[in-house]
Amino acid sequence: MLNQIPSDVIPLKELMVVMAKGKQEEEHLYECWLTWGCGLTLQEFTDVAHEEMTTSGWAQNHGDTVWALVRRSDPQGSILSACETHRTRGFLKQKGGNKVENAWYYGMTCVVTPAQHQRKGYATHLLRLMHYILASPLHLPTFPSEWGSPPSPIPIELEEYFPPAWGTFLSSEIGPDFYYRCLVGIDRRGWEAKEVWQEEVEWEILSSSRLSIPSDPSKSSPILARSESIYHAALPNPSEVGEIKCRPLENHHTRSYRPCCLTLMEWDEPIHTRSLESDSPLPVSVPTRKGVVCGKKPNWEIIYDHHIPSISTMLSRSTREKVEQADSCLNSVFCPDPASEGTSTFAAVRGAYGPQPRWRKFPQPLGIRLRSESSKIAHTSHDHDYDEDSKSGNKPDDIRSPKQENEEQEEKYVNGKEDREEGEEVKEEDTIILFSLLNPQIEDKLLITYIHNLPPELVKSAVEKLDEVVRDQGMDVKYGTVWGLDPTSEVVQAWAALGERNIGKESKISFKDKVRDDDKEEEREKFKDENEVHEPDENIADADSPREERKLRREVKVKRRKGGKAHLYNWCWYVDGETKVLDSQMWIWL
């Protein structure tokens, strides 16, 4: 008979949840290894778990705790099912309120059931009981009598490490249905995976071998080399300029040796066009966008571990202000705090534990940053002042209890309201992109975990910098992915446009195949001049052309994550019911 309850199922009244200890933790770890071993031996997997528990910021002071479902009659016995919780801080503005407060939530993860106990409802019941362990009873329905006695309160000596949860969160690899059925009480819905939280942009990473990117404007364009006056008139401070290129407008390609129009390019985008027959000068000033001067090649900086504290502080303040400004008339508003211990770099740091691929280099880059015009530029670089073997800046002796975290965060915010712009290295106007180079438990891709203040006109430059990071690291990865961006936003549209435009040319014959290395420089320039500057209309096939070329386009997909292995975001709220989550990027995966 279908759906018949197995005869050996233990009645719910005889089950309870305990903090796993000793052998129970080992059993949970073994089941996790069977599911997420990622090719590691059991010993390697155990070593990774030990390193995480002893060194990661998120695990200290019971921040990472294993819970086990066991028989009431044998609380120290073997697990029937088990899970982990990760304690994390966020910002909450309650429905109809104006005040933003610190609110704690817990990430539910590593839910496993030994094979001999599967399909008996134990994992479901474990998670239903976890609602009553983590949340305040004031915000929960009455504990169902058919489940037996309610869970025991957190021991008084541990209370400060388990502040009551306003909500819980999980990332599902098995679709949304199972966790939705893990109800709160008899009939309040469990974890919900809204489609709006599952947005994803996936794009192709391009290696340097596929592109020819000129770095010297005088060599990339003979026209520009012959027009020094135009170059200086358009850009009053050429010493600060990265790359400037001139070319004919696409609708003015001719076979003549003199194009009729000249276009001044900003990172391959036209910002000024004039006829070469005209005597009118180019503009003497260059407009700015978001503090970035048009014509300058953006100077992206690499973010390392020692930059994270100041960046997290800025992101935390910015996040809190977003919650303050959000409308809470109809719903409570919530967003995780990037400054919560270990949160903003969780995916990257966790991916650095255990055996690493050959290409891996430490210290690992954790992101890229573009300073705004208002950003204070440090006179002395300290990029070399870090431990070469360091994988994480989360030092156990720096870890605070949840109460201390709350007090410190509130003090930073209040004290920073008036003078936060003075002397700070990181500004809210800066563009910050955090990433994880490696985390096999998520995907074998470049993982963008957090984006802050990225205007659409910088998307192309940022993606090209990420290409460069991948090349410099020697990674064998084809795609990058970013979660949680609004698909209707200008940023996503700019990302998608990378797949609709030419980004370079791939030659079927190389330059050195055409001109030998010992040929004269002028012959090289002549070859470039004939084949790259004065080329005919690219839509017209030319059988006599000495060089065949085909356009390259990035593969870009804007989609929603669905089904198994999709890491669907799920939330369950205990206070005020429906709550609006302001951010669903990958960094909240913790």
413 and 380 in a single domain? The answer is yes
| Inside any domain, residue 132 | yes
> Does the residue 252 lie in any domain?
no
Query: Reduced to 3 states, what is the DSSP secondary structure of residue 287?
Result: coil
**Cβ-proximal residues to 368 (8 Å cutoff; 6+ apart), any chain:** 300, 301, 302, 303, 433, 435, 462, 465, 466, 469
Same domain, 344 and 405: yes
Q: Are residues 461 and 536 both part of a single domain?
A: no
Q: Starting at the earlier edge strand, list the strands of the sheet with 269-275.
A: 246-247, 261-266, 269-275
* Structural contact between residues 452 and 460, judged by C-beta atoms closer than 8 angstroms: no
Do 518 and 385 lie in one domain? The reply is no
Residues 308, 172, single domain; the answer is no
Domain around 111: 12-192
Is the residue at 225 inside a domain? no
Which residues are bridge partners to 550 per DSSP?
506
Could you tell me if 314 and 459 lie in one domain? yes
pLDDT tens by residue, the chain, 590 residues: 445 556 689 999 999 999 999 999 999 999 999 999 989 999 999 999 999 999 999 999 999 999 999 999 999 999 999 999 999 999 999 999 999 999 999 999 999 999 999 999 999 999 999 999 999 999 999 999 999 999 999 999 999 999 999 999 999 999 999 999 999 999 999 999 999 999 999 999 996 544 444 444 444 443 333 333 333 333 334 444 444 443 443 333 333 333 333 434 444 444 444 444 444 444 433 344 444 444 568 999 999 999 999 999 999 999 999 999 999 999 999 999 999 999 999 999 999 999 999 999 999 999 999 999 876 444 334 444 444 444 544 455 556 667 666 666 556 555 554 444 444 578 999 999 999 999 988 888 999 999 999 999 999 999 999 999 999 999 989 999 999 999 999 999 999 999 875 444 433 333 333 333 344 345 444 434 444 433 334 333 344 444 444 456 789 999 999 988 899 999 999 987 789 999 999 988 76
Q: How far is CA 90 from the centre of its chain?
A: 18
Model pLDDT, residue 403: 65
Residue 569: Cβ within 10 Å count = 27
Q: Are residues 417 and 518 in the same domain?
A: no
pLDDT reported for residue 426: 87
The rounded distance, in Å, linking the Cα atoms of 191 and 183 is 8
Does one domain contain both 407 and 533? no
Q: Which of 36, 65, 38 is nearest to 53 (CA)?
A: 65
| Same domain (yes/no): 468, 526 | no
Question: Using CB atoms within 10 A of its CB, is residue 277 exposed (0-12), middle (13-18) or buried (19+)?
Answer: exposed
At residue 563, the pLDDT reads: 83
CA-CA-CA-CA dihedral for 517, 523, 526, 530, to nearest 10: -60
pTM: 0.75
Residue 508 has a pLDDT of 34
Does residue 170 lie in a domain region? yes
Q: Is 244 inside a domain boundary?
A: no
- In whole angstroms, what is the distance from residue 303 CA to residue 308 CA? 8
109 in a domain, yes or no? Answer: yes
The enclosing domain of 77 has a CATH number of: 3.40.630.30
Residue 222 lies in a domain: no
Tell me: do 24 and 84 sit in the same domain: yes
Residues 344 and 450 in one domain: yes
Which of 167, 192, 217 finishes a domain?
192
Q: Does residue 219 form part of some domain?
A: no
Buried/exposed code over 511-548 (b: 16+ C-beta within 10 A; e: otherwise): eeeeeeeeeeeeebeebbeebbbbbeeeeeeeeeeebe
For residue 145, give the nearest of 12, 16, 17, 10 by alpha carbon: 12
* Spatial distance between the Cα atoms of 203 and 500, rounded to a whole number of angstroms: 12
Q: How long, in residues, is the chain?
A: 590
Decide the pairing of beta strands 261-266 and 246-247.
Answer: antiparallel
Q: For the chain, how many structural domains are there in total?
A: 3
Domain identity same for 520 and 413: no
